[in-house]
Structure 1
Amino acid sequence: GACGLGGPGGGGGPPAPPPAPPDALPLGAVRPECRGLSRAAVRLDAPTVAELLEAALAENDLVTAWEEVIAPTLHAVGRKWATAGERYVEVEHLLSWQISAALHRIRPLPEPPRSPPVLLACVPGEQHSLPIEALTAALGQRGVPARMFGAALPAEALHDAVRRTGPRGVVLWAQSRTTADPALARSLAGIEWGLRGARTRPALLLAGPGWGTDVRGPRTERLYGLRSGLAVIEALARPRAGTGEAGAEPAAYGS
Structure 2
Amino acid sequence: MDVTEGDGGAAGRAGGRLTTGEVARRLGVAPTTVRSWDRRYGLGPAAHTGGRHRRWTAEDLALLERMCALTATGLPPAEAARLALDGPEPAPPPARESTARIPRPATPARRGTGADPRPGDVRQECKGVTRAALRLDTVALDRLLDTAIEEHGLVTAWTEVIMPTLQAVGRRWENSGQRYVEVEHFLSWHVSGALRRHAPPAVADRAGATTVLACAPAENHTLPLEVLAAALAEQGLPVRMFGGALPVDSLVAAVRRTGPAVVGLWAQSRTTASRPLAQHVSAIEWGVRGARRRPVVLTLGPGWAGQTLPDLPHPPGLAEAVAAVRSAVSR
What TM-score bracket applies, with the shorter chain setting the length?
0.7 to 0.9
Report the AA paired with residue 316 of structure 2.
Y
1:147 aligns with 2:234: no
Q: Hey, what does 1:6 align to over in structure 2?
A: none
1:193 aligns with 2:280: no
Q: For 1:170 and 1:97, how far apart are their aligned partners in 2?
A: 25
Report the AA paired with residue 148 of structure 1.
M
Q: Hey, what does 2:142 align to over in structure 1?
A: 50
Q: Hey, what does 2:161 align to over in structure 1?
A: 69
1:108 deviation in Å?
Answer: 2.2
Residues 84/143 of structure 1: CA separation in 2 closer, same or farther (3 Å cut)? same
Report the AA paired with residue 167 of structure 1.
P
Identity %: 51
Q: For 2:147 and 2:137, how far apart are their aligned partners in 1?
A: 16
1:214 deviation in Å?
Answer: 4.2
CA contact (8 A) 1:112 1:143 kept: no
Report the AA paired with residue 279 of structure 2.
R
1:158 aligns with 2:251: yes
CA contact (8 A) 1:108 1:142 kept: no
Q: For 1:45 and 1:113, how far apart are their aligned partners in 2?
A: 39
Q: For 1:78 and 1:113, how far apart are their aligned partners in 2?
A: 37
- Taking structure 1 as the reference length, the TM-score comes to 0.79
CA contact (8 A) 2:206 2:238 kept: no
Which is richer in helix? 2
Q: For 2:77 and 2:233, how far apart are their aligned partners in 1?
A: 23
CA contact (8 A) 1:171 1:206 kept: yes
1:104 deviation in Å?
Answer: 1.2
Which of 299, 305, 313 in structure 2 is aligned with 1:206? 299
Q: For 1:157 and 1:191, how far apart are their aligned partners in 2?
A: 14
Equivalent residue runs for 1:1-255 within 5 Å: 31-108=123-200, 111=203, 114-115=206-207, 116-216=209-309, 219-238=311-330, 247=331
Report the AA paired with residue 69 of structure 1.
V
CA contact (8 A) 2:205 2:238 kept: no
**Secondary structure class of the residue paired with 2:203:** coil
CA contact (8 A) 2:278 2:297 kept: yes
CA contact (8 A) 1:213 1:222 kept: no
CA contact (8 A) 1:109 1:142 kept: no
Gaps of 5+ in 2: 1-75, 79-119
Q: Hey, what does 1:24 align to over in structure 2?
A: none
- Taking structure 2 as the reference length, the TM-score comes to 0.62
1:9-52 C-alpha deviation (Å, 9 max, x unpaired): xxxxxxxxxxxxxxxxxxx9952111110000000111111111
Q: For 2:241 and 2:223, how far apart are their aligned partners in 1?
A: 11
1:214-246 C-alpha deviation (Å, 9 max, x unpaired): 4126x42111100111111111112xxxxxxxx
Q: For 1:186 and 1:63, how far apart are their aligned partners in 2?
A: 29
**Secondary structure class of the residue paired with 1:170:** strand
Whose radius of gyration is greater, 1 or 2? 2
1:158 deviation in Å?
Answer: 0.6
Between Structure 1 and Structure 2, how many residues are aligned?
214
**Secondary structure class of the residue paired with 2:240:** strand
Runs (4+) of structure 1 exceeding 4 A deviation are: none
Q: CA RMSD in A?
A: 1.9
